[in-house]
A and B are shown apart, each in its own frame.
Chain A
Amino acid sequence: MPVEALKDVNLRINEGEFVGIMGPSGSGKSTLLHMLALLDDVTSGTIIVDGVDIERLSSIQKTHFRLTKFGYVFQEYALLPELNALENVCLPLMMLGAPAREYRKTALEMMETVGLGQRAKHLISQMSGGEQQRVAIARALVNRSKVLFADEPCANLDTKNSGIVMNLLRRLCDERKQTIIMVTHEPEHMRFTDRVIWIKDGMIEKEGKAECQ
């Protein structure tokens, strides 16, 4: 019997907005993020991004959409261990066919933005969890993504590194007008967002400004 993970979810996220999604385990917050990020299929309903009904795209168009419009930060960093930090960040630009000199320059700038310019040549295994997550953020944004999705980006980080990552996300939102949709368990992180959406039993329970909750 099919499980209904989300139902009757109506949601509008504005460009440049930092939205936090909270809710208990099994509430459907990750499912929502996966569907918004085109990682999972929607059985009914529509998702409009930048005027495009993304659920109607072909498989190859969805792949291209993920590459050009979306950036995704996983809970467990999800970097390629065979590549160094800079190469991980270069990968989306390589896939877009950028010339080597250009993608290395852009990736290095992105590494500087996340504060890891000096660690660009280090292998992933030589970096701390916080640094790895910042590399993942750099990779997610290097192709000037419209939307950055973050799935509990600080779940595996200590307090200090969590603070660094959350401050970085907030700064990206402020300075680059980056749209960010983040799932988190941590109420503490909500203060970095513009708006919080609470999900419970697959439905939006409430939403509002973070400091108001």
Chain B
Amino acid sequence: MNVPFGNRFNLPELGNDVRVAIFLVFKAIARGNKYTLVLTILVTTLAFINIVFTSSIMNGAISKAYQQAQENYVSNIVILPAIDDKYISQVRQLKTSIDTLPGVISCSSRYAQSGLIRYDPEKDNLDVREKAWNIKSINPEEEIKVTNLQNYMIAGRYLEEGDRNQIIMGREISGGYGASFQISSLKGARVGDEVTIIYGNGVKRDYKIKGIYNTYFPLADLNVFVTEKEMESVLGLHNRASEVLVKTDGSVPERVYIDRLKTMGIESEQINVWMDFIGYISGLTQTFDIVKNIVTFIGLLVAGVTIFIVIFIATVNRRRQIGILKAIGMKERIIILSYMLQAAFYAFLGIVAGLIFIHIGLVPYFVRNPLPMPIGLVSLALVRSDMAVAIVSMLMVSVVAGFIPSWMVTRQNIIKAIWG
């Protein structure tokens, strides 16, 4: 028997099958029940938003942590003293050389010294609050080019170069202004209050709190800063530093600078990219990535099951019709393809509606009302690769959800499909 049609892999025939399937889908959607269409698209829209929203919040948190670490804590690159040294020497010359490197915006040196901060609000020795913290020094002129702390002052003012008996501290050390870690703080120190610092080398100095800042980033907010000149007088040092922070323009990855800095005679183990310097951040990133992947997977599963149920109900309701289509000579693959295309179409419209809602609704809302998290105020961060994965996964899941029920029904005997 000559069967011109019926070859599974005949391209023109396959093309014609697709044409018939598209025709059926188009008519089913155009002339089908509009309420069902709207409801199905609504379900796929919500499923898509659920996936994108969760991963965007996670991305927002990761991005905020990166931003906070770079802008308010260690900038892009941190240079530390050699392993056997306590300080970097000839630091001014080093900074001048670093500033000449292409891509370097600026650099700043800091001293770091442990110290016991003593706070006696009533100065009567009855309610003395004291705790050891890391005291750091900054050159205010340099520091504002490298970090953004000056923009996060919630009370008082930022340090100036000539300040000798004044300090600024993070909200979490002051314990006031809505601090969250009050139990391990000075429990309410305010701008203008006096504190005493007993440095690790035994030097004892009194300071007035000039300003309190709050970046919402715990690592940055658990610091106390004095000026560089003050710290040099405490330590009896000059032209040295415990760390040098380097801010780059982001045109090349930070690791590229390691080679450039090595040519200046700095040993590679002293140079740290910000992410390596803060293991906490990479740990946080990994945790968020795991959570994001799990939640995305569950979201996809829920979306898939939802679309599956919708298509399954539609397919079961049309079982008789599928039987009739088979009876008049329609190939199973056309029927299955039409349901797969229909499911993909629902998913596509759901994705488009979801993207519109996300871009004109969710993102502007969260930009105006960021979520307060322990790492800062977090907004949605839409990452293209994550969006692409969500879109492709959603389409694939919907196609599978369209395939399974239609395949199940088309496998049935024609008479059974028609008469039940």
List A residues at the B interface (Cβ < 8 Å). Answer: 34, 37, 39-41, 52, 57-58, 60-61, 63-68, 70-72, 74, 78, 80-83, 87, 91-92, 94-97, 123, 139-140
Contact of B415 among A40, A64, A65 (CB under 8 A): A40
Q: Name the interface residues of B1-53: CB closer than 8 Å to any CB of A.
A: 1, 3, 5-6, 8, 12-13, 16, 19-20, 23-24, 27-28, 30-32
Q: A64-B5, A64-B6, A83-B27 are in contact. Are A92 and B328 (CB under 8 A)?
A: yes
Question: In the complex, what residue of chain B is closest to A87 when comparing beta carbons?
Answer: B27
B27–A95 touching, CB < 8 Å: no
Q: Which residues of B contact A39 (CB under 8 A)?
A: 327, 414-415
Q: Which residues of B contact A91 (CB under 8 A)?
A: 20, 328, 330
B334–A95 touching, CB < 8 Å: yes
In the assembly, what is the distance between CA of A72 and CA of B327, in Å?
7
In the assembly, what is the distance between CA of A94 and CA of B415, in Å?
24
Query: A66 → chain B, closest Cβ, in Å?
Result: 4
A97–B13 touching, CB < 8 Å: yes
- Could you jot down 13 A-B contacts, CB within 8 Å? A41-B413, A60-B8, A61-B1, A61-B6, A64-B5, A72-B327, A72-B328, A82-B24, A82-B31, A83-B31, A95-B329, A95-B330, A95-B331
What mask results when residues 314 to 341 of chain B are scored 1 for a CB within 8 Å of chain A, else 0? 0000000100111111111010000000
Contact of A97 among B12, B321, B325, B326 (CB under 8 A): B12
Query: B324 → chain A, closest Cβ, in Å?
Result: 4
In the assembly, what is the distance between CA of A197 and CA of B326, in Å?
27
In the assembly, what is the distance between CA of A186 and CA of B382, in Å?
69
In the assembly, what is the distance between CA of A70 and CA of B8, in Å?
21
Pairs A-B, 6 closest by C-beta atoms? A67-B329, A66-B329, A97-B16, A82-B31, A64-B6, A78-B324
Q: A40-B415, A60-B6, A61-B6 are in contact. Are A66 and B327 (CB under 8 A)?
A: yes
Interface-central residue, B16, B31, B328, by most chain A CB under 10 Å: B328
In the assembly, what is the distance between CA of A135 and CA of B332, in Å?
23
Give the tally of cross-chain contacts (CB within 8 A).
86
Question: In the complex, what residue of chain A is closest to B15 when comparing beta carbons?
Answer: A97
Q: Which residues of B contact A97 (CB under 8 A)?
A: 5, 12-13, 16
Query: B32 → chain A, closest Cβ, in Å?
Result: 6
Q: Which residues of A contact B331 (CB under 8 A)?
A: 60, 63, 95
Q: Which residues of B contact A71 (CB under 8 A)?
A: 328
Q: Which residues of A contact B12 (CB under 8 A)?
A: 97
Query: A49 → chain B, closest Cβ, in Å?
Result: 10
B23–A92 touching, CB < 8 Å: no
A95–B3 touching, CB < 8 Å: no
Q: Which residues of A contact B324 (CB under 8 A)?
A: 74, 78, 80
Number of B residues whose C-beta is below 8 Å from A? 32
List B residues at the A interface (Cβ < 8 Å). Answer: 1, 3, 5-6, 8, 12-13, 16, 19-20, 23-24, 27-28, 30-32, 321, 324-332, 334, 413-415, 418
Q: Which residues of B contact A34 (CB under 8 A)?
A: 415
Q: A63-B329, A67-B328, A82-B31 are in contact. Are A52 and B5 (CB under 8 A)?
A: no
Known A63-B326, A74-B418; 20 more pairs at CB < 8 Å: A40-B413, A41-B413, A61-B3, A64-B6, A67-B329, A67-B330, A68-B5, A68-B329, A78-B324, A80-B24, A80-B27, A80-B324, A82-B28, A82-B31, A83-B27, A95-B20, A95-B334, A97-B12, A97-B16, A140-B328
Q: A39-B414, A74-B324, A78-B324 are in contact. Are A63 and B330 (CB under 8 A)?
A: yes
Question: In the complex, what residue of chain A is closest to B30 when comparing beta carbons?
Answer: A82
Q: Which residues of A contact B329 (CB under 8 A)?
A: 63-68, 70, 92, 95
Query: B333 → chain A, closest Cβ, in Å?
Result: 9
Q: A80-B321, A94-B19, A97-B12 are in contact. Are A52 and B328 (CB under 8 A)?
A: no
Q: A67-B329, A91-B328 are in contact. Are A57 and B1 (CB under 8 A)?
A: yes
Q: Which residues of A contact B8 (CB under 8 A)?
A: 60
Q: Which residues of A contact B334 (CB under 8 A)?
A: 95
Q: Which residues of A contact B28 (CB under 8 A)?
A: 82
Interface-central residue, A40, A63, A96, by most chain B CB under 10 Å: A63
Q: Which residues of A contact B418 (CB under 8 A)?
A: 74, 78
Question: In the complex, what residue of chain B is closest to A67 when comparing beta carbons?
Answer: B329
In the assembly, what is the distance between CA of A136 and CA of B327, in Å?
12
Q: A39-B327, A72-B327 are in contact. Are A82 and B32 (CB under 8 A)?
A: yes
Q: Which residues of A contact B23 (CB under 8 A)?
A: 94
Question: In the complex, what residue of chain A is closest to B32 when comparing beta carbons?
Answer: A82
Query: B403 → chain A, closest Cβ, in Å?
Result: 18
Q: Which residues of B contact A57 (CB under 8 A)?
A: 1
In the assembly, what is the distance between CA of A41 and CA of B413, in Å?
9
Question: In the complex, what residue of chain A is closest to B23 when comparing beta carbons?
Answer: A94
In the assembly, what is the distance between CA of A37 and CA of B414, in Å?
11
In the assembly, what is the distance between CA of A68 and CA of B334, in Å?
16
Q: Which residues of B contact A92 (CB under 8 A)?
A: 328-329
In the assembly, what is the distance between CA of A67 and CA of B331, in Å?
9
Query: B236 → chain A, closest Cβ, in Å?
Result: 90
Query: B138 → chain A, closest Cβ, in Å?
Result: 73
Q: Which residues of A contact B13 (CB under 8 A)?
A: 97
Question: In the complex, what residue of chain A is closest to B417 when comparing beta carbons?
Answer: A39
